[in-house]
Structure 1
């Protein structure tokens, strides 16, 4: 049974979430340069020192909400039957998880443009996805009785699932595919399970023998 957070812990979580929302709003409305620690703190009526107690950088604050999606995904996987093969569980959970972003296409598109343009945001974006990937690998290892540090399977399954999710979100947010996000995620999972048949169809000709 999970322990209920104390009042102090709830206040800290609320402050962290408020700072993240302020950072996100400043970036969207005024550009990344406007989202300084001082400006973010001012939006929440706290000191810059308080901001730095919660976040190491503005990039971390902006992407905090994305990082917070990880626990929800893990909880959904834990709720699947223990005997269910991991990829079957992922196929059930990931499209439904992606559906939560369905009304945020423009917002995610804006974020990806900033990530493309700013090296610090790109680095933090990678860190965020890697954290979710690691947590997913640990959970898969737990469910199949593997050791995440020594066994390839949980890490490969997690990496493949994370790649499907990230690629689908990026293609959808940028308008590269005219398909609902959950359907795009589902399509990606099916392709990976089939061994990426389109890729397998590519043949590289062997060089002709000399002479």
Structure 2
């Protein structure tokens, strides 16, 4: 990657990170472009090199993580159990950026429009996970693969939402681990994985 391209990627990431941190601290409707650029350490005009509006940035925020998670899933060993592949990928992703992950979760559950963006991105992620599960276990029928992906995504949402809303003890990873363990036996037994 060229130095110029590296700088563009870094600046866009700074704008997105600033937006997430601001959305975690107050309603999205109260966040301004000036707030975002100040937090990112860039000039206001720089914002418009990346986004046409705050709404466009908002849409990008809703779709960032699923792509990163899917890349982590695909990087796992092919012979790994599909359920372990899903759980392990998410744990690694949360450990790599715990503060950012926590701020994103808080922002998402506090702001209904961000949650809508997140849910919309989950449908595509779910289908991609089904494809990856079937690639690893071709004998598993599509319905069972869909059930596994759906249960995983729902368990993840419940664990993280509970952690954010109720102030559950421990870290988000601990909350996820407890929830995913609770469903692991059921999923494994029912789907024969």
What is the TM-score of this pair, normalised by structure 2? 0.69
**How many equivalent residue pairs?**
184
Matching residue of 2:119 = 126
> What residue in structure 1 maps to residue 191 of structure 2?
none
* CA positional deviation for 1:15: 3.2
Whether the 8 Å CA contact 1:112–1:170 is kept in 2: the answer is no
- The equivalent residue for 2:84 is 88
Distance 1:53 1:11, change over 3 A: farther
Match of 1:135 among 125, 128, 135: 128
How is 1:70-89 mapped onto 2 (pairs within 5 angstroms)?
70-71=69-70, 73-75=72-74, 78-80=75-77, 82-89=78-85
Give structure 1 stretches of 5+ with no counterpart: 197-211
Contact 1:20-1:64 at 8 Å conserved across structures: no
Aligned pair partner of 2:179 in 179, 184, 188: 188
Deviation of the 1:179 alpha carbon: 4.0
Gap regions ≥5 residues in structure 2: 188-193
1:112 is displaced (CA, Å) by 3.8
Q: Residue 163 of structure 2 corresponds to which residue in structure 1?
A: 172
Aligned-residue offset at 1:14: 2.4
Distance 1:6 1:142, change over 3 A: farther
Structure 1 runs (4+) greater than 6 angstroms displaced: none
2:14 to 11, 14, 18: 18
Q: Distance in 2 between matches of 1:103 and 1:40?
A: 18
TM-score normalised per structure 1? 0.64
* Cα distance in structure 1, aligned partners of 2:107 and 2:186: 31
Greater helix percent: which structure? 2
- Taking CA–CA contacts closer than 8 Å with sequence separation of 6 or more, which of the two structures ends up with the larger relative contact order? 2
> CA 1:37 to 1:142, structure 2 compared with 1: closer, same or farther past 3 Å?
farther
Whether the aligned pair in 2 keeps the contact of 1:133 and 1:159 (CA below 8 Å) is yes
* Structure label with greater radius of gyration: 1
| Secondary structure at 1:171 match in 2 | helix
